[in-house]
Amino acid sequence: MKEKRLGFATRMGAVAASVGSAVGLGNIWRFPYQAGDNGGGAYILVYLICVILLGIPIMMSEFVIGRSTHKNMKGAVEQLTPGSPFKYFAYIGVIGALLICGYYSVVCGWVIEYLWNSASGNLLGHDPEQYSQIFNSFIGSPDRCVLWTVLFLVLNFLVLTRGIEKGVERVANIMMPLLFVLLIVFCVNSLLLPGSMKGMDFLFNVNFDKLGWKGAVDAMGQAFMSLSLGVTCLITYSSYFKDDSPLMKDAVTISGLDTLVAILSGIVIFPAVFSFGMEPGAGPKLIFEILPTIFQQMPGGTIWATLFFVLLFFASITSTISLSEIPITFMVDEYKFSRVKALLLTAVLMSAVAVVSALSFSSLSDVTIIGKNIFDFLDFVGPNFFMLLGGLATAVYVGWFLKKEVVHNQLTNYGKRSSRFVQPYIIFCLRYLAPIAIVIIFLHYTGII
Ligand code: PFF
């Protein structure tokens, strides 16, 4: 007898879990540091354009593939278009997920270190400049970094043993709303700091001189990273969606909430950066230097800090769960592995990438690829190569190769909803805009343009 596939209990649960996948360190850690590196306003504008013109359509293309078949990318392509080579892009998704989740878990380890320190009352009480030294000395210590990273992965896989509905859905339903509330409190606090408007100016004043190619590529990669696109994550999640959920509405809700969290994080970070006279382009360590300074001047700072890192931990784990689910579902569906076996194999592979990345700032700091240490290299190729390539594949596949009828049936829930404006928009973006934009980026990498 065919084993019944697990599913989400409610539509809210499915959307919350997808928001849980989208909202994570990408929004709160990566978006601010990338915006800071790339000069602020213009980067954010390009980012928003990428979300609307590429992100939402590609998210829809993943939903169409996943929900029409209730299968992972490979199984879905085999069912929808037998013999099509697009099925091989499933492997890009699986490899991309292993690499991304590997280095991402290292930052989750940093979050646990900060959570531990704030809960034990040791995080705050230093001069603003000292927070940078404290962070550098922490990431330079191999045992602590590896310990927290591995601990994080153990927790991640423990939640996954409970399956989609019980594990993922429950965690996402409770923690996401709380995170929003806390971010809003922090925004108000940052805006009240002296000189905070300089930070708002940095965030929202568009100045293209500071952007350049690098900024545009980063913004596109970041949109894909933040919306969890291109590594078949949302194909995997939507394969568990119910047949009557309104896909376009869900895609807009997920992207809207995700973007809101990213912008709110910017409003927490940059007013404080400028108010305390710090450097906006500090790179991956940005939030770990700034946040303690922000919490420090809030009454009850230690409690706020602890609460924040708890929520950040949950936001991260709902993202790593979705990343881990990609190889797991793939192995279960395609290779008929038991869920436990697939989970163990995924855990071993991810831990290997994670440990190597965790050592990038200490024992392995001399190992560089294209001039970047292993962590920075993965933080670059994950979003800017694997996700863009996967996104290109799903866009071209759904835009050009999938029967119109399949797309129409998914967008209208078999004729029950109208897709008069939505369908032409999605198809236009998938056929032309997304492929052209991504191919231009790849040509740029090769130095042709
Ligand atoms: N979107 C997540 C974040 O912004 O933190 C990261 C992520 C999750 C990327 C799942 C890719 C993915 F498949």
Say yes or no to pLDDT of 4 above 80: no
**Amino acid 342: pLDDT:** 96
CA distance 106 to 273: 24
Over the stretch 85-125, which tens digit does the pLDDT of each residue have? 999 999 999 999 999 999 999 999 999 999 999 999 999 99
pLDDT at res. 160: 86
d(CA 28, ligand 1 centre) in Å: 12
CATH number at residue 431: 1.20.1740.10
User: Can you give the residue range of the structural domain that contains 171?
Assistant: 11-445
Say if 385 falls within a structural domain: yes
- Asked whether residue 429 is assigned to any structural domain, the reply reads yes
Distance 276 CA to ligand 1 centre (A): 30
Q: Specify if 142 maps to a domain.
A: yes
Q: How far is the CA of 405 from the centre of ligand 1 (A)?
A: 30
Q: What distance in angstroms lies between residue 18's CA and the mean position of ligand 1's atoms? A: 10
**Structural contact between residues 242 and 413, judged by C-beta atoms closer than 8 angstroms:** no
Measure the CA–CA gap between 350 and 324, rounded to whole angstroms: 8
Lowest-confidence segment of 15-19, 310-314, 379-383 by average pLDDT: 15-19
Which has the higher per-residue pLDDT, 297 or 87?
87
Q: What are 372's strand-pairing partners?
A: 369
pLDDT range class, residue 1, cuts 50, 70, 90: very low
How many domains does the chain divide into? 1
Tokens of 235: 């194909």
- In this predicted structure, the answer to whether residue 75 has a pLDDT above a threshold of 50 is yes
pLDDT tens string 28-58: 999 999 999 999 999 999 999 999 999 999 9
Average confidence score pLDDT of the chain: 93
State how far the Cα of 311 lies from the Cα of 111, in Å rounded to an integer: 10
* Rounded average pLDDT over 243-266: 95
Does residue 1 fall inside a structural domain?
A: no
What is the torsion angle, in degrees rounded to the nearest 10, for the CA atoms of residue 26, residue 27, residue 29 and residue 30?
50
The per-residue pLDDT for range 138-162, each reduced to its tens digit, is 999 999 999 999 999 999 999 888 8
Note whether residue 5 is domain-resident.
no
- Does residue 2 carry a pLDDT above 90? no
Q: Is the pLDDT of residue 3 over 50?
A: no
Q: Is the pLDDT of residue 224 over 60?
A: yes
Give the model's pLDDT for residue 103.
Answer: 97
Instruction: Give domain status of residue 75, yes or no.
Output: yes
Give the other-Cβ count within 10 Å of 252's Cβ.
16
Residue nearest to atom 11 of ligand 1 (CA): 228
Q: Tell me: the pLDDT tens digits for 12-35?
A: 777 778 888 999 999 999 999 999
- Which ligand 1 atom sits nearest the alpha carbon of residue 31? 4
pLDDT for the residue 6? 56
- The C-alpha atoms of residue 405 and residue 16 are separated, in whole angstroms, by 29
For 63, 247, 416, the CA distances from 409, given in Å and listed in that order, are 12, 11, 9
Provide the pLDDT for residue 139.
97
Give the phi and the psi of residue 32 in degrees, each rounded to 5. -60, -40
Residue 167 has pLDDT above 70, yes or no: no
Query: Long-range contacts made by residues 334-341, C-beta under 8 angstroms, separation at least 24?
Result: 334/72, 334/74, 334/75, 334/90, 339/163, 340/161
Nearest CA to ligand 1 atom 12: 228
* Chain segment 411-429, per-residue pLDDT in tens: 999 999 998 999 999 999 9
Residues with CB under 6 A from ligand 1: 21-22, 24-27, 97, 100, 225-226, 228, 231, 233, 319, 322-323
How much of the chain exceeds pLDDT 70, in percent? 95
For residue range 314-361, list pLDDT tens digits in order. Answer: 899 989 999 999 999 899 989 999 999 999 999 999 999 999 999 999
Q: What global pTM score does this model have?
A: 0.94
Residue of 166 and 157 predicted with greater confidence = 157
